Chain A
Amino acid sequence: MATTRQTVARETLRVGGGVRLRRLPPEASILVVLIGLALAFELLGWIFVRQSFLLNEQRLVVMILQVSVIGIIAVGVTQVIITGGIDLSSGSVVALTAMVAASLAQSSEAARAVYPSLTDMPVLVPVVAGLTVGAAAGLVNGTLIASTSIPPFIATLGMMVTARGIAKWYTHGEPASMLTDTYAEIGSGAVPVMIFLGAALIFHIALRYTRYGKLTYAIGANPQAARVSGVRVGRHLIAVYTIAGTLSGLAGIVTSARAVSGQAGMGTMYELDAIAAAVIGGASLAGGVGRITGTVIGTMILGVVTSGFTFLRIDAYYQEIVKGAIIVAAVIADQYRQRTARRRG
């Protein structure tokens, strides 16, 4: 019996591998879009501004830097979307954590520190505080969704407004500036990019290879079936939203470190960019579908569009118009792909 089992398993593995070779991974199509967009800007660059778009290290670094905050949020939002939910509160949580973390990261040179007795703290203090605030916001989201029948859209909409309000109330709208140099380092150089890619790698592994990931997909695919299969759906949702909140908190820390100050207006509309990145990357708002690799590529697409338009010196207005069109086009393309795949099956 044991040997037959192994043969069966091996055979399945082999067949599985073969099929995967023939069918490209779902990210392939979106990667083609990314490369196509980059090449289009390259071409337009030579025609209109007589410069290379891609052969400019500085531009590429800035491009990735600009979107890494969105990327960090999108890693969490992707997981929420896979469960069939949505998180509208990320942008406001960025502002709230930026405020709280910055208030604990001020140097003694700050003229009007939020906590004059708590200046020049070790960098760990604001970081832990920021992550805690983000996690707490996510915990509230998750608990509301799991224990009441409020749809995630409404629960996180409430958090979006509330967290923004708390961020403003925290210092009565005053920014918290003059942060310590060690804190500012979190936002300088390639650090934000490393944080983004590190978070992406961790949760890519978590989603694909751990029990946590398997349950996340199952809940999104069919919450009722997950429940019957013995999955503690509510508890798992709380975990997912808490992780998303923590990642928003991380994004808030990076944002305030980059700006070397915390402001209550930070992160406005970031939640929508993050959702867009996930959806462009193939996550389905119906749940059960999505991958971190796709989200990373989706984030890069947003980055390429933003910096490409700046590079071509085209108005920011057009940028938004094109961004909107890309989001819709990505979803249409994805639905088309799914439908043809189903028909083949």
Chain B
Amino acid sequence: MRDGASDGCLLEVRNVCKAFPGVVALDDVSLRVGRGTVHALSGENGAGKSTLMKIIAGIYAPDSGELLLNGRAVRFSSPRDALRHGIAMIHQELNLMPHMSVAENVWIRREPVNALGLISHRELRRRTRALLERLRIDIDPDAEVRTLTIAARQMIEIARALSFESELLIMDEPTSALSERDAGHLFAIIRELKAQGKGILYITHRLEELFEIADEVSVLRDGRYVGSGTPASLTREAIVRMMVGRELSPVVLDGEARRGAILLAARGLTLAPHFYDVSFELHAGEILGIAGLVGSGRTKLAEALFGLTPASSGRLSIGDREVKIDSPQSAISRGLAFVTEDRKESGCFLTLSVLENLEISVLRGEFVRLGFVRPRAVLAACAAMCALLRVKTPDLHSPIANLSGGNQQKVLIGRCLLTRPRILILDEPTRGVDVAAKAEIHQLISRLVAEGTAVLLISSELPEILRTSHRIMVMREGRVTGILDRAEADQVKIMDLAAA
């Protein structure tokens, strides 16, 4: 405990406290990261993970407590200072410049120069290639970043972090935007880094990953250290209990019993080059999961059903009537609702309040008289929705930007539910959402389904799809490769159908 360096301890966090006006974000948290190990940090949103990471990365200064790097007490004045000490952070949101090349992004502000003081592009390329080779990443150093996939960008972030010869890498939910296959590649890189003796602090919501990659798991709750252990010594349930502090009732699905009449039927929907000849039926009271790799056309299909980018051919019927949906308005008026996959991009109104985010889709009919919004009626409906979804917010007038990801997601689902949809399309409804909120969202979905709502659930997380769906439609490169019943589906079968 006295001397960390001798026992292979790279970073030690001792009794760190941090308070913000009104909240104690971290209360006496201690943690150790060893060389060549992956230390996973888990906890619900708002548990203090981000604050702890930001202290380690030099973004915040702790109120009390200390950081020991290789056994020596350090105090960082800025992220650059932390970087100089060998600590690099890979942010959840990618910070790359889309119009510049990979090499330029990696070495920005540290470009090698030639005798004239100009940037030497040859040297830049050579260094980048060497760096990428060391990590076994196969990306062209000259490629423009905007042409690359999210997964490739993630790899470049990691390469950039390592280009500082960092000893400790902090990864904040690096797989949240990756498909299973890309996540596998990322894990391979992490193992490579471990072999090179780097320490990794790994933040994640996905419990499966803890068991796959972590050497040690620590859990925070409400800013306090709850416990830790090796994945071998912990069960999934034990970790969830530590995170949430109570037992979560698992989602119970009533199989086919309540499946009702066909609500939505698609015949030969096509929108080149995104998807071709998609046919399926969705019953009342059914959850149809859509699985597939990123780029398989799942999201485009959802957008077409909702009228955002209508299909160019094919037929669609709702109930027993054939319909043409060419705009979101017509979709909503026919009882559809859509929760998009990207909360920031196409979900939240970040400058507006929770109330204003909720009410937007129902500003008509009973809630509006002569153009004037009826504030009491709207407020009552929105407050009831918040209570139903258990949205944690000080009040309906606080900015939605202040809410955690899980609560923002609940607000967006609430926005859809206020329109009383018969058909709900959910695109990655639990991405970046903590375990408790995730369970609550799943429970909500099953309750809706029990009431006769039909749900289309798109998810990159196979366990989620397998656990919640009645049937699973698998897509590959824009085509439906199979529709599996819940009883016959498993991860292997789905991956077989999804991967080329």
Q: Is B349's CB under 8 angstroms from A12's CB?
A: no
Select B360's contact among A6, A231, A288, A343, beta carbons within 8 Å. A231
Q: Is the interface of A mostly helix, strand, loop or mixed?
A: helix
A295 → B minimal CB distance (Å): 17
B residues 340-357 near A (Cβ < 8 Å) are: 340, 345-352, 356
Q: Is A227's CB under 8 angstroms from B356's CB?
A: no
A residues 229-279 near B (Cβ < 8 Å) are: 229-232
Q: Is B306 an interface residue (CB 8 A)?
A: yes
Q: Is A224's CB under 8 angstroms from B346's CB?
A: yes
Q: Is A209 an interface residue (CB 8 A)?
A: yes
B396 → A minimal CB distance (Å): 5
| A211 and chain B: residue at smallest CB distance | B363
Q: Is the interface of B mostly helix, strand, loop or mixed?
A: mixed
Q: Is B483 an interface residue (CB 8 A)?
A: no
A residues near B387, Cβ cutoff 8 Å:
4-5, 8
A residues near B346, Cβ cutoff 8 Å:
222, 224-225, 227-228
Q: Is B394's CB under 8 angstroms from A221's CB?
A: no
Select A232's contact among B329, B350, B380, B415, beta carbons within 8 Å. B329
Q: How far is the CA of A11 from the CA of B356 in the complex (A)?
A: 18
B66 → A minimal CB distance (Å): 24
A residues near B356, Cβ cutoff 8 Å:
214, 217-218
A223 → B minimal CB distance (Å): 9
Q: Is B340's CB under 8 angstroms from A228's CB?
A: yes
Q: Is A288's CB under 8 angstroms from B398's CB?
A: no
B residues near A9, Cβ cutoff 8 Å:
376, 379-380, 383-384
Q: How far is the CA of A224 from the CA of B343 in the complex (A)?
A: 11
A residues near B351, Cβ cutoff 8 Å:
217, 220-221, 284, 287-289
Q: Is B22 an interface residue (CB 8 A)?
A: yes
Select A8's contact among B361, B384, B398, beta carbons within 8 Å. B384
A residues near B384, Cβ cutoff 8 Å:
4-5, 8-9
Q: Is B117 an interface residue (CB 8 A)?
A: no
Q: Is A329 an interface residue (CB 8 A)?
A: no
Q: Is A313 an interface residue (CB 8 A)?
A: no
Q: How far is the CA of A231 from the CA of B359 in the complex (A)?
A: 12
Measured as residues with beta carbon below 8 angstroms from the partner, the interface class of chain B is 35 or more
Would A230 and B372 be within 8 Å (CB), given that A8-B383, A215-B363, A218-B360 are in contact? no
Would A229 and B373 be within 8 Å (CB), given that A211-B363, A288-B349, A342-B401 are in contact? no
B60 → A minimal CB distance (Å): 10
Would A224 and B396 be within 8 Å (CB), given that A9-B383, A209-B375, A289-B351 are in contact? no
A residues near B376, Cβ cutoff 8 Å:
9
A residues near B359, Cβ cutoff 8 Å:
214
Would A5 and B395 be within 8 Å (CB), given that A227-B328, A229-B361, A288-B349 are in contact? no
B426 → A minimal CB distance (Å): 13
Q: Is B398's CB under 8 angstroms from A221's CB?
A: no
Q: Is A344's CB under 8 angstroms from B22's CB?
A: yes
B381 → A minimal CB distance (Å): 8
Q: Is A332 an interface residue (CB 8 A)?
A: no
A residues near B368, Cβ cutoff 8 Å:
211
Q: Is A31 an interface residue (CB 8 A)?
A: no
Q: Is A13 an interface residue (CB 8 A)?
A: yes
A residues near B381, Cβ cutoff 8 Å:
5
Select A345's contact among B348, B352, B361, B399, beta carbons within 8 Å. B399
Number of residue pairs spanning A and B whose beta carbons lie under 8 angstroms apart = 120
Measured as residues with beta carbon below 8 angstroms from the partner, the interface class of chain A is 35 or more
Q: Is A229's CB under 8 angstroms from B371's CB?
A: no
Which among A210, A214, A217, A344 has the greatest number of chain B C-beta atoms within 10 A?
A214
| A208 and chain B: residue at smallest CB distance | B373
B residues 138-171 near A (Cβ < 8 Å) are: none
Q: Is B250 an interface residue (CB 8 A)?
A: no
A344 → B minimal CB distance (Å): 6
B residues near A214, Cβ cutoff 8 Å:
356, 359-360, 363, 373
B residues near A150, Cβ cutoff 8 Å:
none
Chain A, residues 124-135, CB within 8 Å of chain B (1/0): the string is 000000000000
Q: Is A226 an interface residue (CB 8 A)?
A: yes
Which among B351, B398, B419 has the greatest number of chain A C-beta atoms within 10 A?
B351
Q: Is A39 an interface residue (CB 8 A)?
A: no
Would A222 and B348 be within 8 Å (CB), given that A19-B394, A214-B359, A345-B399 are in contact? yes
| A220 and chain B: residue at smallest CB distance | B351
Q: Is B402 an interface residue (CB 8 A)?
A: yes
Select A5's contact among B348, B350, B380, beta carbons within 8 Å. B380
Would A344 and B21 be within 8 Å (CB), given that A221-B351, A225-B348 are in contact? yes
Q: Is A50 an interface residue (CB 8 A)?
A: no
B residues 386-401 near A (Cβ < 8 Å) are: 386-387, 394-399, 401
Q: How far is the CA of A125 from the CA of B394 in the complex (A)?
A: 54
Q: Is B347's CB under 8 angstroms from A225's CB?
A: yes
Q: Is A210's CB under 8 angstroms from B372's CB?
A: yes
Q: Is B348's CB under 8 angstroms from A16's CB?
A: no
Q: Is A15 an interface residue (CB 8 A)?
A: yes
Q: How far is the CA of A12 from the CA of B394 in the complex (A)?
A: 9
Q: Is A336 an interface residue (CB 8 A)?
A: no
Q: Is B21's CB under 8 angstroms from A227's CB?
A: no
Q: How far is the CA of A203 from the CA of B356 in the complex (A)?
A: 18
A12 → B minimal CB distance (Å): 5
Q: How far is the CA of A312 from the CA of B21 in the complex (A)?
A: 45
A residues near B372, Cβ cutoff 8 Å:
209-211
Q: Which 8 A-B pairs have the closest CB atoms?
A: A345-B402, A221-B349, A288-B351, A15-B395, A9-B380, A224-B346, A8-B383, A5-B384
Give residues in A with beta carbon < 8 Å to B.
4-6, 8-9, 11-13, 15-16, 19-20, 209-212, 214-215, 217-218, 220-222, 224-232, 284, 287-289, 342-345
Given A214-B359, A227-B346, A231-B360, 15 more pairs with CB closer than 8 A = A5-B380, A8-B380, A15-B395, A214-B373, A217-B356, A218-B360, A221-B352, A222-B347, A222-B350, A225-B340, A230-B329, A232-B327, A288-B349, A288-B351, A345-B398
